[in-house]
Structure 1
Amino acid sequence: MTNKTNLNLVYDYLHEVKKPTSLNQIWQAISGDVISQKKDEISVIADLYGDMVLDNRFALTSDSLWALSIDPEVEDIKRQFANNFVDESEKKSRTSNSQDDLDDQTTILDEDDYFNQELDEDYDDEFYDENDDYDDIEDSFNLDHDDDYDE
């Protein structure tokens, strides 16, 4: 048994195979050396998947295959995505006349604006009647106040 963490086992395996690989293939290759306190294999695989998602050394391809982030194929995708993102942002900036247009359309409310708004008293009086609250309940249950409950 090795003293490597599960993520390091995955890293070493992907570094060795040098191609994007499914999680199932990764698990088959490293399962004998995996360190876990859990007895349920599915839980261990789920934890490994979650850890791989959070570790920036690994990248999940559009084909649901795992690769190292330093893999040339992954780097090409990153560059392509970055270029597309820059192209899209340039298109948006060309269609927008100026930053002033954005400022005119944006209203920024701070916390005080939200919490210090006073309620319109006409609104309250228009919709609230003290007697309405209980009349509806009594009507829905057909309550008769004259009945005695001495049975």
Structure 2
Amino acid sequence: METNLLEIAYKYLEKRKKASFSDIWKHVKKELNISPEHEEKVIGNLYTGMILDTHFFLKSDKLWYPRSQVSLDEIKSQVTSIAQDHDEEFDLSEDITDLSESFVEEETEDDEEDDDTIYIAEDSYDDGDQELDLDLNKKALQEEFQG
């Protein structure tokens, strides 16, 4: 069903050139005749699918666009703006340094007490993992439905 959701949403978006998530959802809901008891799951699948699918792009104006309608320069500009806003809001460099130092101290103390070593594995799969800022996605969705 998720593929149908995204196909319907994309066709709608191609015709409109841009739309709010609320408008896209209303169209998909109507097209698929989604029952009230399934709305919560389906709307979540639609939003998640749109975030992950490269055919959709959410601009800072809180409207969705077909990716083909957005220039690479616009994308770079928005990503740079978000990164700068994020850096200004959350300067965690000191916290990370403090945490690293305390971890090293604890590790040294533990090494003196025990000879057991704990290794933390890193993801070495080349599977195209993408980090998602779910708080930003949730905030954008809440703002869209409130506005």
When normalised by structure 1's length, the TM-score is 0.45
When normalised by structure 2's length, the TM-score is 0.46
Kindly name which structure, 1 or 2, has the bigger radius of gyration based on alpha carbons: 1
Query: By percentage of residues, which structure has more helix?
Result: 2
